[in-house]
Amino acid sequence: MTDISNSAEGDLDQTPPASAESDVVAFTRTEPAKPPRVLAIANQKGGVGKTTTAINLGTALAAIGERVLVIDLDPQGNASTGLGIDRRNRRCSTYDVLIGNSPLRDSVVATAVPRLSIAPSTMDLSGLELEIGQARDRAFRLRSAISAVNTGKSIGTSDFTYVLVDCPPSLNLITVNAMAAAHAILVPLQCEFFALEGLSQLIKTVEQVKATLNPELTIHGIVLTMYDARNNLSSQVVADVRAFMGSKVYDTIIPRNVRVSEAPSYGKPVLVYDLKCVGSEAYLRLATEIIQREKELRAS
C-alpha cells in the first residue's frame, strides 16, 4: 500500500499558516462567527459508501435542524450529481477554492433539501496536486477556506453548523487537506470480506496527520455499510470489525437497500426519494447517533 504519494507525505511537516482572515472579521463583526463542525468522510477504498453517506447523512442532519454544507472533494463529482447539481451549475468548484481563486462561499450552491448546501467538484480537481504540490500551504488550503466560510455572508444566509467532506478514494493531497481541516474522520466500511483491509493504513495516515498537521484530529466513528442480512458473511464482518475497533463502531448499520442505490440517478438523496425505506431510516438513526457522539466528544 503506497497510496499516500510523496508530496502528500511531504505535507505532513508543515505548520499552519497564520490566518489574516480572522483579523478582518474582528473589525467587521461584533460577534465572531461560530465555526462549523467539520467531519471528513474518508476511506481510500472506492465503493464503500463514502459519497452515499455524505449525501444522506447530510440530508438527515439537515432534516433534524442542522445547517449542513457538503464539500465534494472527489473529481468524479458523484456527491454533486447525487444532490442534483447539474454540471452547468458548477462554474465555481472546489478546485477553484483549493487553488486559491475563490472563497468557499462562492462555490456553495443550495440543494432541493432545506438547510443543505453543496460545494460541487469538477474533473479539474484531479490536476490539483500538479498545481499546488509545491506550495508551502498546500495541505491547509481546505482548512483556510472553511475557517472563512461562516464569515462575509450574503444577507439572509445562515452559518453552517456541520461541514461534511466527501473524500476521493485515495490517500492523496486532497484527502490530506480534508484530514488537516477536519475535527474528526468518519470511516464507512463495506460489509464484505476485505472490509478491514486498508483500515490500518488509513488509521496510520490519520495518526500522521494528527502528529504533524492537526493535533485535534480523531476518528469520530466507523459506519458499516451495505449490510445484507441474508448473507452470513455480513454478520461475520460486523463481528470482526466490532472486535477490532470496539466502541468506535457506530451502533447504526446501513443495510444494503436498492432504494439507496436508485436515488442518485434521480439527483435526490434517498431520504427525499423514499423517506420510509430502510436505508432512509438507517441514515436518520446515524445522524441522531452522530449528534449524540458529538455531545459526548464536546463534554470530554
The residues in 18-57 that bind Mg ion, with binding defined as CB under 5 A, are: 50-51
For residue 216, the minimal CB distance to Mg ion (Å) is 25
* Strand order through the sheet with 162-166: 109-110, 116-119, 68-72, 162-166, 37-41, 184-190, 218-227, 249-255
Residue list 170-209, contact with Mg ion (CB under 5 A): none
Report the nearest approach of ligand ADP to the CB of residue 168 (Å): 9
256 binds, among ligand ADP, Mg ion, none (CB under 5 to 8 A by kind): ligand ADP
CB of 125 to Mg ion, least distance (A): 12
210 is an interface residue for Mg ion by CB under 5 A: no
Q: What is the grid cell recorded at 162?
A: 456541520
Q: Which residue number, 74 or 147, has a Cβ lying nearer to Mg ion? A: 74
Q: Binding partner of residue 279 among ligand ADP, Mg ion, none, CB under 5 to 8 Å per kind?
A: ligand ADP
Instruction: Tell me the three cell numbers of residue 209.
Output: 496527520
Query: Which entry of Mg ion, ligand ADP, none binds 102, CB below 5 to 8 A by partner kind?
Result: none
103 or 169, CB closer to ligand ADP?
169
Residue type, 212: T
- Which residue in 150, 179, 214, 182 sits closest to 21, CA to CA? 150
Would you tell me which residues interact with ligand ADP (CB under 6 A)? 46-52, 78, 169, 225-226, 254, 256-257, 260-261, 264, 279
Give the shortest CB-82-to-ligand ADP separation in angstroms: 8
| Nearest C-alpha neighbor of 54 from the set 36, 41, 38, 73 | 41
Least gap, CB of 45 to Mg ion (angstroms): 10
Instruction: Assign 37 to helix, strand or coil.
Output: strand
User: To the nearest whole angstrom, how small is the minimum distance from the Cβ of residue 53 to Mg ion?
Assistant: 9
What DSSP line would sit under 159-226, residue for residue?
Answer: --SEEEEE--SS-SHHHHHHHHH-SEEEEEEESSTTTTTTHHHHHHHHHHHHHHT-TT-EEEEEEEEE
Residue 120 near which of ligand ADP, Mg ion, none (CB within 5-8 Å, type-dependent): none
Applying CB under 5 A, which residues contact Mg ion? 50-51, 74, 78
